[in-house]
C-alpha cells in the first residue's frame, strides 16, 4: 500500500468514526477517548453508556465490493481488540467497572444516507 492509499484509508476511517460518534452521542453515550493505541492494537472509540465502559470497533465502507462492513471483523481482529481493551483497563487502573465491546458497522453507498448496524456486546 503506497502513501496515498494509506492516507485515503485513514480519511475514510475518520469519516466512519465521525458518523459513529454522532450516532452514539444521540443515544446518550459519552465519548471518553478516540483512537486509543496500545502495541499494534487500536480502539476506535471508548465511551460510557450509563455506568458501562464501551469499547467500540467501527467498520465503514462506501461499497459492497468486499461484503458488508461487519463481516470484515475476523477472529484475529476480535482478539486484537480484546487485548487492546484489556490493556486500556490495566493502563488506566480500572478494576471494578462493567465493560463491553460493541461494533458499529456503517455502509455509506453513493447518494444514500449511511446505514448503521450497531451490534451491542458483539464479542
- Number of domains making up the chain: 1
> Distance between CA 76 and CA 9 in Å, rounded?
20
CATH of the domain at 23: 3.40.1350.10
* Parent domain of 39: 3-119
**Pairing of the two strands 52-61 and 99-107:** parallel
Average pLDDT of every residue of the chain = 93
Q: Which three cell numbers stand for residue 111?
A: 447518494
pTM higher than the cut 0.85: yes
The per-residue pLDDT for range 30-50, each reduced to its tens digit, is: 999 999 999 999 999 999 999
Amino acid at each position: 500500500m503506497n502513501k496515498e492509499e494509506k492516507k485515503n484509508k485513514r480519511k475514510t476511517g475518520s469519516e466512519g468514526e465521525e458518523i459513529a460518534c454522532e450516532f452514539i452521542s444521540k443515544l446518550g453515550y459519552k465519548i471518553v477517548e478516540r483512537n486509543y493505541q496500545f502495541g499494534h492494537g487500536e480502539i476506535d472509540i471508548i465511551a460510557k453508556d450509563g455506568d458501562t465502559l464501551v469499547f467500540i470497533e467501527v467498520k465503514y465502507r462506501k461499497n459492497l465490493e468486499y461484503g458488508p462492513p461487519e463481516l470484515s471483523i475476523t477472529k484475529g481482529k476480535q482478539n486484537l481488540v480484546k487485548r487492546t481493551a484489556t490493556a486500556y483497563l490495566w493502563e488506566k487502573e480500572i478494576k471494578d467497572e462493567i465493560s463491553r465491546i460493541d461494533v458499529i458497522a456503517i455502509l455509506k453507498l453513493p447518494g444514500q444516507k449511511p446505514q448503521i448496524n450497531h451490534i451491542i456486546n458483539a464479542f
